[in-house]
Structure 1
Amino acid sequence: MKDVRLTHIGGPTLLIEVGGWRILTDPTFDAPGKRYFFGWGTTSRKTTGPAISADQLGTIDAVLISHDHHGDNLDPAGRALLPKLGTIVTTVPGAKRLAGSGPTRGLAAWDTTRLEAPGKPAIEITATPCRHGPPGSHPIVGEVVGFALKWDGQEHGVLWISGDTVLYDGVREVAQRLTVDTAIFHLGGVKFPVSGPIRYTMTAQEAIELTGLIKPRAAIPIHYEGWKHFRQGRTAIEGELAAAPADIKALFHWLPIGEPVQDPAMD
């Protein structure tokens, strides 16, 4: 995806630059140290701040928020930025909650909207399914979506961001419905309680399985660091990748945090 530049700011926060557009995902800009409450007695502490400060961001045309109700995907500093970040694309209930923060568009799974501006290619944004926990967890964890970005001139398929999800049939449907060039996986293998059996985000092994189904040109892990509740950091993910089939392992690429990368598949 040579016409795209990606910068991993930290956690789930990614800057996507393409065709004059500057799009931010899940803005988290709080300093480390604060404890966050995720509901039903679950908490976590942020351990790492953003590699790029909010003041260094520059102009942002749109922000994609997989879900607005967890502090590791939209923290207070990120929320305060929203009126300056252009169009907000998020879940249907999230758009209602964020309506006072700027122009909002709420999408359910497989809904589509378009970003349009003079002198820039239109970008079609499709929400993709997420299940942020085990079967039946939706009433507890709330609505979450991923995002597929499509624009004229793409050679190998869409840019897809998984959002916070476990691997289940809704996510597998991405392989059936979309041709993906770059897959960005929210990983971390989150569990609450940390020693319990209930998991809320993908593991490296699930990302390996999903990569085999989707067959992207590049697979990129994000949202695996910077918080106490992650059970799989980079070392654990790399350990799982070491045992993966060679053709799958070759598709995974790490974005250096805070540094722009033009084409991850060429690193």
Structure 2
Amino acid sequence: MTSEELARQDCAVTILGGPTAVIDIGGLRVVSDPTFDDPGSHGYLSKTKGPAFDENALGPVDVVLLSHDDHPDNLDVRGRAFADAAPLLVTGPLAAARFGERAVGLSSWTSHPVPRRDGGGELTILAVPAVHGPEDGQRDTEGHINCEVTGFVLSGEGLPTLYISGDNASIRTVAEVSRRIQNIDAALLHAGAARVEAKFDGRPLSMDGRRVAAAAAVLGAGVVVPAHYDGWSHFSEGLDDIQLAFLEAGLSSLLRIAPHGSWVALRP
């Protein structure tokens, strides 16, 4: 982990480790699912590796996107403090209620505009659904499997359209996003086939490599960046499994792999 400054980019993303991504788009710096704790135990989950850059290296951040606040692998202690200090936090309605009035809670298929810093108008943040477990999993009183999870689509005039899946295990949900959103240029897909034996008989809570490859095919995105496949002990698949799945599907040309902390361009 380093605290040297992470240089600004034009329409690019870097994965810091786990689910945490830094997205520079429209002159804005956006951070998704911040996790900055050192390795260690978080109740029934264990963090095995810290981020490539710590929070002090990111400079001024404009927006934090939070898929969910229920699990420490998507929002740990330092990540929560980081989200609390952000000028804008966008998440789902239940999570926003727990954060208070400063947070913007978006139901699926609702959006929030953010003025861009590049003079290009607005960046639109659209909330989209995610299913954090098997399709036949028991739903809670709010209709969620496991917990409320929100994915996002970022778009704006002259910008690449970016889909961020959040912790989603459902190809049906990816297909719904693809039907509703035309011309997705890039996809940031949470992978790792996360498993917790006490939940859903140990079945995956997020996409495995084959489902990530299937999601890429459904979306038609020219750039696919995997995230959330390492740094925690409950992942049952790693980067090698993702790469093999894309190779077998004939989609390797879409996959963008870079060391954590290195940038990937969002334009195909």
Mark yes or no: TM-score above 0.5: yes
The answer to whether the 8 Å contact 2:116/2:123 transfers is no
Q: Which runs of 4+ in 1 moved over 6 A?
A: none
1:203 equivalenced with 2:204 (yes/no) = no
Identity score, percent: 35
Distance in 1, Cα, partners of 2:61 & 2:188: 20
1:237 equivalenced with 2:236 (yes/no) = no
Aligned position for 2:111: 112
Residue 144 to residue 55, structure 1, CA distance change in 2 (3 Å): same
Task: Encode CA deviations 1:72-102: one digit per residue, 9 max, x unaligned.
Answer: 11100011122322100001000000116xx
2:166 maps to which of 163, 166, 170: 163
1:11 equivalenced with 2:10 (yes/no) = no
Distance in 2, Cα, partners of 1:170 & 1:138: 16
Aligned position for 2:132: 132
The answer to whether the 8 Å contact 2:64/2:89 transfers is yes
Residue 62 to residue 263, structure 1, CA distance change in 2 (3 Å): closer
How do 1:37-116 residues align onto structure 2 when only pairs under 5 Å count?
37=43, 43-99=44-100, 103-116=102-115
Aligned position for 2:229: 224
Distance in 1, Cα, partners of 2:117 & 2:215: 37
Distance in 1, Cα, partners of 2:77 & 2:117: 32
TM-score, normalisation: structure 2: 0.88
Task: Encode CA deviations 1:20-75: one digit per residue, 9 max, x unaligned.
Answer: 21110000000012x223xxxxx220000011011111100110000011101110
SS in structure 1 at match of 2:97: helix
1:184 equivalenced with 2:177 (yes/no) = no
Distance in 2, Cα, partners of 1:263 & 1:208: 18
Residue 242 to residue 119, structure 1, CA distance change in 2 (3 Å): closer
The answer to whether the 8 Å contact 1:60/1:84 transfers is no
Aligned position for 1:141: 146
Aligned position for 2:259: 256
Distance in 2, Cα, partners of 1:251 & 1:141: 30
Distance in 2, Cα, partners of 1:125 & 1:197: 33
When structure 1 is superposed on structure 2, of 209-218 and 2-11 the one drifting more is: 2-11
When structure 1 is superposed on structure 2, of 194-203 and 48-57 the one drifting more is: 194-203
The answer to whether the 8 Å contact 1:128/1:171 transfers is no
Aligned position for 1:150: 155
The answer to whether the 8 Å contact 1:29/1:53 transfers is yes
TM-score, normalisation: structure 1: 0.88
Measured after TM superposition, the shift of residue 263 of structure 1 is 4.5
Measured after TM superposition, the shift of residue 10 of structure 1 is 1.1
Segments of 5+ residues of structure 2 without an aligned counterpart are 1-8
Task: Encode CA deviations 1:103-135: one digit per residue, 9 max, x unaligned.
Answer: 211011111111125664311011111010122
1:27 maps to which of 29, 34, 44: 34
Residue 56 to residue 169, structure 1, CA distance change in 2 (3 Å): same
Segments of 5+ residues of structure 1 without an aligned counterpart are 38-42
SS in structure 1 at match of 2:31: strand
SS in structure 2 at match of 1:127: strand
Distance in 1, Cα, partners of 2:125 & 2:45: 31
Distance in 2, Cα, partners of 1:168 & 1:262: 25
When structure 1 is superposed on structure 2, of 211-220 and 116-125 the one drifting more is: 116-125
The answer to whether the 8 Å contact 1:131/1:138 transfers is no
Q: Which amino acid aligns with 1:229?
A: H
